[in-house]
Copies of this chain bind each other. A is one copy, B any other.
Amino acid sequence: METIKGTDSIYRISQKLRQEGHTIGLVPTMGYLHDGHVSLIRKSIKDCTRTVVSIFVNPAQFGPKEDLKKYPRDLQRDIRILKETGADYVFVPETDDMYSRDHKTGIKVKGLEKIMCGKFRPHHFSGVCTVVLKLFNLVCPHRAYFGEKDYQQLVIIKQMAADLNIPVKIKGCPIVRESDGLALSSRNSYLTCEERKNATVLFENLLKAAGMLKRENLGLREIKAIIMKNILSNNSVSKVDYFDFRKPENLEEIKNLKQFRQESKNGKILIATAVWIGSTRLIDNMVV
């Protein structure tokens, strides 16, 4: 596996790979890799002849009071995992190389970026879109792989790619979970032992809500009230940012379950939540 630091170098390499007829897969990450990332890399290796993994803790997607500084980093461990998994290149740019001092360009995906996580992290998705577009222009991948845990991010990136005619296939991959159901996340490393045990509250309540949707005797408002009470009764939960029922394709909120089921002919429902476990913000979702 080759480690590449410079933006110029990665572009030169990607052009060479394209000329040689390779299919390039890109897995953009912020590092501190876990089995969720590994599943994306494996998928890329299966689909493509060359896999590039980027590791970059993107300052543009963190708010001023968020965890940019303390975000977990361990490049040596990441490189070991990437070698074991079989990635071809790891791209590890410096912040100064990615963002010039007078960077001015931002990307908005209207209607999608202010809801759900965007309501609580106002510039987050603009930062995500910017770095993803930069990585696409540098790595020139044919396909790019994103986890469904960041479901809203996946929908936004798909929308951006379609809107801007970006010639990259955006691939979503299923959430990978611990044996007790907690969705893998680099931020799980922030949790204390007690919090870690209680963090299953997200998955458990997604399951519970899914069950209630199936039973069909309650409306969405009632289900949400029961679930919210349930989550907030957990000892480690300090706040629930949202617990939403939305259309998986466009994140439109579903307000009336009966009406939605009629109009969509029993279409799928995205249940998505963001919950603070102590001082750690976790997200999870389920499409049912």
- Which residues from chain A sit less than 8 Å from chain B, CB to CB? 7, 11, 100, 102-112, 129-130, 133-134, 137-138, 140, 159-160, 162-167, 250
Q: Do A167 and B11 touch (CB < 8 A)?
A: yes
Smallest Cβ distance from A59 to chain B, in angstroms? 14
Q: Do A112 and B104 touch (CB < 8 A)?
A: yes
22 A–B contact pairs at CB < 8 A? A7-B165, A100-B162, A100-B163, A102-B250, A104-B109, A104-B111, A104-B159, A104-B163, A105-B107, A105-B129, A105-B159, A105-B160, A105-B163, A105-B164, A106-B107, A106-B110, A108-B108, A130-B163, A134-B164, A137-B164, A137-B167, A138-B165
Smallest Cβ distance from A16 to chain B, in angstroms? 13
Chain B residues near A140 (CB-CB < 8 A): 167
Chain B residues near A109 (CB-CB < 8 A): 104-106
Known: A11-B167, A133-B164, A138-B165. A108 touches B106 (CB 8 A): yes
User: Which residue of B is nearest A18, CB measured?
Assistant: B18
Smallest Cβ distance from A192 to chain B, in angstroms? 40
Chain B residues near A108 (CB-CB < 8 A): 105-108
Given contact pairs A104-B110, A105-B109, A105-B129, enumerate 8 new A-B contacts (beta carbons under 8 Å): A102-B250, A104-B163, A105-B107, A107-B107, A107-B108, A130-B164, A137-B164, A138-B165
Known: A104-B109, A106-B110. A137 touches B165 (CB 8 A): yes
How far apart are the CA atoms of A104 and B100 in the complex, in Å?
27
Chain B residues near A112 (CB-CB < 8 A): 104
**Which of B104, B105, B163, B165 interacts with A11 by CB under 8 Å?**
B165
Chain B residues near A102 (CB-CB < 8 A): 250
Chain B residues near A160 (CB-CB < 8 A): 105
User: Which residue of B is nearest A110, CB measured?
Assistant: B104
Q: Do A163 and B107 touch (CB < 8 A)?
A: no
How far apart are the CA atoms of A11 and B165 in the complex, in Å?
9
